[in-house]
Amino acid sequence: MTSPRRDERLIVALDVPTLDEALALQAKLGGVVTRFKVGLELFVTEGPRAVEAIRARGGRVFLDLKLHDIPETVRRAARCAAATGAELITVHTAGGPAMLAAAVEGARQGGDAAVLGVTVLTSLDAQQLAEVNTAPQSLPDLVVKRAQAARQAGCAGIIASPKEVAVIRAVIGPDLLVITPGVRPKGASTDDQKRTASAAEAIAAGANAIVVGRPIRDAQDPRAAAQSLLDELACCDAE
Ligand code: C5P
Q: Which residue minimizes the CA distance to atom 8 of ligand 1?
A: 181
Ligand 1 atom nearest the C-alpha of 119 is: 21
109: alpha, beta or left? (left if phi > 0; alpha if psi -120 to 50): alpha
* Å from CA of 237 to ligand 1 middle: 24
**What is the rounded CA–CA span in Å between residue 211 and residue 36?**
9
What's the average model confidence in pLDDT over 118-123? 94
* Domain with residues 6-238, CATH architecture: Alpha-Beta Barrel (3.20)
Q: Is 37 a catalytic residue?
A: no
Q: Is 162 in the pocket of ligand 1 (CB under 6 A)?
A: no
Task: State the pLDDT at residue 130.
Answer: 86
**What is the rounded CA–CA span in Å between residue 107 and residue 81?**
7
pLDDT tier, 3 (very low <50, low <70, confident <90, very high otherwise): low
The CA–CA distances, whole Å, from 21 to 41, 48, 64, 217 equal: 12, 16, 18, 10
Q: Please, are residues 91 and 140 in contact by the beta-carbon 8 Å criterion?
A: no
Task: State the pLDDT at residue 235.
Answer: 78
**What is the rounded CA–CA span in Å between residue 179 and residue 210?**
6
Task: State the pLDDT at residue 2.
Answer: 46
β-pair partners for 36:
12, 61
Residue 193 has pLDDT above 90, yes or no: no
**What is the rounded CA–CA span in Å between residue 144 and residue 150?**
10
What's the average model confidence in pLDDT over 156-160? 97
The pick from 12, 36, 122 for probing ligand 1's pocket by mutation, whose C-beta has the most ligand atoms within 8 angstroms, reads 122
Between residues 133 and 43, the one the model is more confident about: 43
pTM, to two decimals: 0.94
Q: Which residue minimizes the CA distance to atom 14 of ligand 1?
A: 181
Q: Please, are residues 86 and 64 in contact by the beta-carbon 8 Å criterion?
A: no
pLDDT in tens, 48-79: 999 999 999 999 999 999 999 999 999 999 99
* Residue of 37, 66, 145, 163 marked active site: 66
Q: Which residues of 124-156 are buried (b: 16+ CB within 10 A; e: fewer)?
A: beeeebeeeeeeeeebbebbbebbbbbbebebb
Domain boundaries, the chain: 6-238
The pick from 211, 212, 216, 229 for probing ligand 1's pocket by mutation, whose C-beta has the most ligand atoms within 8 angstroms, reads 211
SS3 178: strand
